[in-house]
Structure 1
C-alpha cells in the first residue's frame, strides 16, 4: 500500500510540474504582445464621445476606420493630430471615419485640445482606460487601421507623419 501511495504522489507531482512548465513557457514565449494582430477583429467598445453621445465600434461597420489612441500628455500624439485632421477632411466624401480615443483625461482638457487643433472627427473618452487595456497598448500614440470588412489591416505604434497616414488610408480605402 505504501509503494502505491508513493507512485501516486510521483505521478501527481509530475503532472503538476508539466502543467506549470507549460503555463510558464506559454507566458514567456508566446508571440502575442497583448495587442490584437493584423487580420483580427478589433475589441468592441462603447465610449462617451466629446459630443455627449455613446459611440460603439459597431457604429462604424462597413466603413474604413482609423482608431487612434492619444493623449495631450503625449508629444507624438499632439504632432500627428493636424495630419489626422487633414486626412479626415481629404476623405470626407468616402465611407471613412477617424475615431480618436483619449486616454483618461478630463473633458475640459480634451475639449480645449479639440478647439485648439480644430478636430472634427469623433473624439471618445476612455475615462477608466478599460478600452486601452482591451487593446493591450504599451505606448502612445497607437493607431489601428480597420478595413470595412471589420478586420485590422495595420497597427502603427508611435507618431505618424502625414505620409504614413496617407499611405495607410489609401491602402485601407482600396481594401
Structure 2
C-alpha cells in the first residue's frame, strides 16, 4: 500500500492535478498587434498580426491584417516557449519562439505528407507601419486605376492583363490587382521615394510587389514575388478607363448544351445531384470552388449570409469543391472545416481535384474551367443562364459592389420568370 505522501507525489508528476519542481510553465505571449515579416526571395514581406487572449489559458485568437481586412486564423496555442498559429484550410502555420515582445520562427506550408515548404518569420509587438513608418507626405502619387501586364518569361507563361486599383493617404497605399481569373485580395504598402511596395499574407498567399514610378510617363515597372519561388515582372500605365475582358465570356456552355450535370458526394458520402427535388423549380447558384482558394473564401463570405437571407425566395446553392485530393477521406474533413468556418448551410460536394483540366472533365458541358471560383446561375427550368469567371472580392472596392448589384438583379429577374 502506498503512503499518502508518495501517492500525492506520483499524481503531481503525472501532470494530472499538481505541478512538480522542475516543470516549466508555458510562456505568456503579450497580446496586441505585431509587425510581422516573412523573408521571401523578393525580400521582407510585412503584414500585421493581432493576438488576443483566448478563453482557455495558453490560447490566443489570431488575425492576419492586410489593409482593412482582419482575417481570422485558427486558434493559436502556446507550448513551452513557442507559439503555433495554424491555418488549417490552407495547410499552413506560423511557428515561433516567444522572447518578450518578439516572435521568431518559420512559416510552414504543407504541400503533401512528405513535403513541407518553409520561410523565416519574425514579429515584433508595437510597430504599426508596413514597409516604412507612415508619413503625411509622399514624393509621388500612385492613387488611381492602372492598366497592368504581368509576364513570366522563365516559365513561358503568356502575358496576363490586369487592372490595378489603388488609394493613397500620405505615403500609405492600399488596393489590389484585378485579373480575368480573380483579384489579388487586400494589398497594403507604402510609397518610398519613387518606388511602390505592396504586400499581402493571408495564410495561403504570400504576395510581394515592388515597382519604380515614372511620374512623367505615368508608368510603373517592377517585380512580383509569390509564395516560395514564384516571380513575374510587371508594368502598368495610369489609365482611368482600364478594364478587363467580360468575365461572362471566358467559361461557357458547349454548343447544344443548356444545363449542367452534377452528381457528387458530400463529406458524409451522401450523393447530391442537381436533379434532386431540392433544386426543382428553384433558381440555383452553382459555385465552383476549393477550400484552399482565398478568392473562393471571399465569394463564400458573400454567398453564405446571402443564402440565409434569400433562401425563402426560392433559391438554392450547390458548392462543387475541387480539392488537392479526390479521396473523400482526405478532402472531406477540409470541406467540413470550410463549412464550419463560414457557417455554410447549403451542400458542398467533392467534385474532383483542383487541376483545371480535370475540373473541366468533371463538368463536360463547359468549354473549360479557367478559374476558381467560377459561378453558374441556373433558372427554374435548370438551364444555365449565366457563367461568371473569377470573383471581385471586397478588396476591389467598387468592383465588388458592382458584382453584388448585378448578382442580385439577375436573381430577382430569374425569380420573376414563370
Q: Normalised by the size of structure 1, how large is the TM-score?
A: 0.71
- Which one of the candidate residues 329, 337, 340 is aligned to 1:112? 337
1:33–1:169 Cα change, 3 Å? closer
Structure having the higher strand fraction is 2
**Pairing 1:150–2:382 present:** yes
Q: What is the alpha-carbon distance in structure 2 between the residues aligned to residue 144 and residue 152 of structure 1?
A: 7
Alignment of 1:86-105 (within 5 A): 86-105=305-324
Write the deviation string for residues 64-121 of structure 1: whole angstroms up to 9, x where unpaired: 1000100122221111102101221111212210011101351111111111111111
**1:36 aligns to what?**
253
Cα displacement (A) at 1:137:
0.9
- Which one of the candidate residues 351, 357, 362 is aligned to 1:131? 362
Cα displacement (A) at 1:52:
3.3
Alignment size in residue pairs? 144
Q: Structure 2: any 5+ residue segments left out of the alignment? A: 1-248, 325-330, 354-358, 393-399
Q: What is the DSSP-based 3-state SS (H/G/I as helix, E as strand, rest coil) of the residue aligned with 1:43?
A: coil
1:164–1:79 Cα change, 3 Å? farther
* RMSD (Å), alpha carbons: 2.6
1:92–1:43 Cα change, 3 Å? closer
Structure having the higher helix fraction is 1
1:51–1:92 Cα change, 3 Å? farther
The answer (yes or no) to whether the contact 2:291–2:323 under 8 Å persists in 1 is no
Q: What is the DSSP-based 3-state SS (H/G/I as helix, E as strand, rest coil) of the residue aligned with 1:103?
A: strand
Q: Structure 1: any 5+ residue segments left out of the alignment? A: 1-31
Cα displacement (A) at 1:131:
2.3
**1:170 aligns to what?**
412
Q: What is the DSSP-based 3-state SS (H/G/I as helix, E as strand, rest coil) of the residue aligned with 2:385?
A: strand
Q: What is the DSSP-based 3-state SS (H/G/I as helix, E as strand, rest coil) of the residue aligned with 1:126?
A: strand
Larger Rg: 2
Write the deviation string for residues 131-174 of structure 1: whole angstroms up to 9, x where unpaired: 24553211111000000012111111111544343233222322
**1:122 aligns to what?**
347
The answer (yes or no) to whether the contact 2:254–2:365 under 8 Å persists in 1 is no
1:37–1:155 Cα change, 3 Å? farther
Q: Normalised by the size of structure 2, how large is the TM-score?
A: 0.32
